[in-house]
Structures are given as C-alpha cells and as structure tokens.
Structure 1
Amino acid sequence: MESLMFAINNLRQMEIIDINSGSKLGYIKDFKVDCDDYRIISILLPTQKSSWFNKNNSVEIPWDKIKKIGVDVILVDGSDVNIENE
C-alpha cells in the first residue's frame, strides 16, 4: 500500500467498504496500536447486531487487510474478520 499520511480523525470519518461483497461495514470505532513500533495493528468497527446481554462487540480488521484508502472511503478485504468482546 502507498505510504501516505492521514490524520486519525480523518480516518474515523471514512466509511469502511468490503471489496468482496461491496457491503458497507460502518465507521472506525477504535484502533489497536503497537506502541513500541508506533504502528496501527488493526481497526475496530462496531457490530451491527446487538447481543442479548448488551455486550459491546467489535469487528476487528487487521491493518494488512486494508487495500486502499481513498478520499472518503477505506476499502478492506473482509473475508475473515474477527468479532471480539470488549
């Protein structure tokens, strides 16, 4: 991927699109950051489904699954995404 600089606030305002299905996954809720290497490890998106006991679940997409960052969207390969409990 190209080495461009983006502000975190700008990334959070971009919609995430899965390139496999063309579906809209939502907007970035949070980031996982490697503080030793100063790198983003993955992005976290809120799930569309609410659970029975209102647990906050997130969809985690590794940074290497991001294929393209455009002007207003981020294209990701969402073929194998992880849902994690917070």
Structure 2
Amino acid sequence: MNGIDYTFCELREKMVVNICDGKQLGRIIDICVHCGGKVVGLIAPGDTKFFKSLKGCDGIFIPWQNVVRIGDDVILVDLQSGMPPMPCNNC
C-alpha cells in the first residue's frame, strides 16, 4: 500500500471502485480482521439488489490482497469481472 495508517472512520468515507470495470461498489461498511490483528478484507455494499436476495448478507467481501490502492477519496480494488463477488459471511 502507500505506507499511511487509516482508521475505520476514515476508510468508511472512501468510495470503493473496481478497476476491472470502473463500477462503484459503495463505501466500506465493515472490516474483517484476523484474531492476530491482520486485516483479512473489506466489506462493501456491492450490488444491493443481488445481495438482498442472499439471506443474512449485507455486502460483498473484498479480500485484502485485492485492494490495489487507498487514495484520498477512493479505494481501488481488483475484482475480476468473470468471477462472482464473494458474499459476506461475517468474516
């Protein structure tokens, strides 16, 4: 990444954009952290129409390794267009 520390409050203000198709996935709604303290991924609203059909799912899980860059206003992620987004399973 870019060597800057961010709080959750700062991250949730940034728009998540998929660099593969330019689609805006919304703002971060949650962060998944491993019990050892390592960030595992981010959770964004994604396509709310699709995910509302999945019981108990509030968004899509974006693995941390798919986060390309965190900028001033945006979080760029690389989600392959051929792969369906991973539903959030509460980490």
Answer yes or no: same fold by TM over 0.5: yes
TM-score, scaled to structure 1: 0.83
Deviations 1:12-69 (A, max 9, x none): 1100000010010111111110121x12101111241121xx7232200001101011
CA–CA separation in structure 2 for the residues paired with 1:32 and 1:8: 11
In the alignment, structure 2 segments of 5+ residues that lack a partner are none
TM-score, scaled to structure 2: 0.79
CA–CA separation in structure 2 for the residues paired with 1:17 and 1:11: 13
CA gap of 1:63–1:85, structure 2 versus 1, over 3 A, is: closer
CA–CA separation in structure 1 for the residues paired with 2:3 and 2:23: 26
Higher strand proportion (structure 1 or 2): 1
The alignment covers a number of residue pairs equal to 83
Q: How many percent identity over aligned positions?
A: 33
Deviating above 3 A after TM superposition, structure 1's stretches of 4 or more consecutive aligned residues are: none
In the alignment, structure 1 segments of 5+ residues that lack a partner are none
